[in-house]
A and B are shown apart, each in its own frame.
Chain A
Amino acid sequence: MSQTLTIPSTLSPGFTWARKLSRVMVAFFAIALLLNLTEAISAPLFAIFRTTPSGVGLGIGLTERVIIGFGSLTPWQAIGAVIGVELFVLPRMLSMYHILRLFLCFARGEVFAARPIAHLRVAGWWLTATFFASIAAVWLMSAWGALSTQGDAGHFRFPGAVIGLALIFRSTLFTGFPVIIAAYVMEEARRIAADHAEII
């Protein structure tokens, strides 16, 4: 017979809804992750093949205002643009990956367990990193000449201020830190739940 405590599965009926919604969120974040992966893979490819065979420049829109047109870049600038794009995309991808794993845990009914809490905490750190990495990416691409303020279509439409970054990136800072704090609170709840489970 196992000598580990059996935690009773007394999740409320309301949690069934949360599990169903978690499955929807898993699908949503899987799609978002795929889109981001496409962006991450496209950047080095666009740096090699900067235009289509018909001569149309290829580009990546990081936000509504930060659009990189590879067609008009020199090879050196294209390298800078690739680094910038990856710096922009990778932390976002990692935060999405951990959020996806978190909802997978919730969908399985794992709530006050070490694994979902760890995913929540890491997602929070990556969300926070996304904000700073996006600023660093814009700065780097500007310094490298991969971004300019000459705003014709297909080139760059960068207003030249960090505050011009899309709301979604500014919000990463304001969601990242609270998520980290929430993870620590959940860890405390997990500890209490484990303690309660040892009372028969």
Chain B
Amino acid sequence: MIVVNLDVMLAKRKMRSKELAETIGITEANLSLLKSSKVKGVRFETLDKICAALECQPGDLLEYRMG
């Protein structure tokens, strides 16, 4: 399964969810769903914005776990 490590990256960058949501232009509700891996997919466009805002790589945000 794919796990989203967005909260880890947010903690590392000392950034709040609200701030990130405003920066990348999505709602806090949708960002919360993304953080808890409750979405079916992430657009490259969104991933690009998150990586730019958090200065990280997609691999820092997404992780594959067996089972």
**Is B40 part of the contact surface with A, judged by Cβ < 8 Å?**
yes
Q: Is the CB of B33 within 8 A of A195?
A: no
Show 13 residue pairs from A and B whose CB-CB distance is below 8 angstroms, ordered by the A residue.
A1-B29, A3-B29, A3-B36, A3-B38, A4-B29, A5-B30, A198-B40, A199-B42, A200-B30, A200-B34, A200-B39, A200-B41, A200-B42
Minimal Cβ-Cβ distance residue in A for B47: A200
Interface string of A1-44 (1 = CB under 8 A from B): 11111100000000000000000000000000000000000000
Q: Give the 7 A-B residue pairs with the shortest CB-CB distance, closest first.
A: A199-B41, A198-B40, A6-B27, A6-B29, A200-B39, A200-B30, A1-B32
For A1, the chain B residues whose CB sits under 8 A away are 28-29, 32
Interface size on B, residues (CB 8 A): 17
Sort chain A's interface into a size bin.
10 to 19
Minimal Cβ-Cβ distance residue in A for B40: A198
Q: Is the CB of A198 within 8 A of B39?
A: yes
**Is B26 part of the contact surface with A, judged by Cβ < 8 Å?**
yes
Seen from chain B, the residues whose Cβ lies within 8 Å of a Cβ on chain A are 26-34, 36, 38-43, 46
Q: Is the CB of B29 within 8 A of A200?
A: no
Query: How long is the Cα–Cα vector from A6 to B38 in the complex, in angstroms?
Result: 13
Interface string of A173-200 (1 = CB under 8 A from B): 0000000000000000000000100111
For A4, the chain B residues whose CB sits under 8 A away are 29
Minimal Cβ-Cβ distance residue in B for A195: B40
Q: 12 more A-B contacts (CB under 8 A) besides A1-B29, A199-B39?
A: A3-B33, A3-B36, A4-B29, A5-B30, A5-B39, A6-B27, A199-B41, A200-B26, A200-B30, A200-B41, A200-B42, A200-B43
Minimal Cβ-Cβ distance residue in A for B41: A199
Q: What is the minimal beta-carbon distance from B36 to any residue of chain A, in angstroms? A: 8
Query: How long is the Cα–Cα vector from A3 to B39 in the complex, in angstroms?
Result: 11
For A199, the chain B residues whose CB sits under 8 A away are 39-43
Query: How long is the Cα–Cα vector from A196 to B5 in the complex, in angstroms?
Result: 22
Query: How long is the Cα–Cα vector from A42 to B20 in the complex, in angstroms?
Result: 65
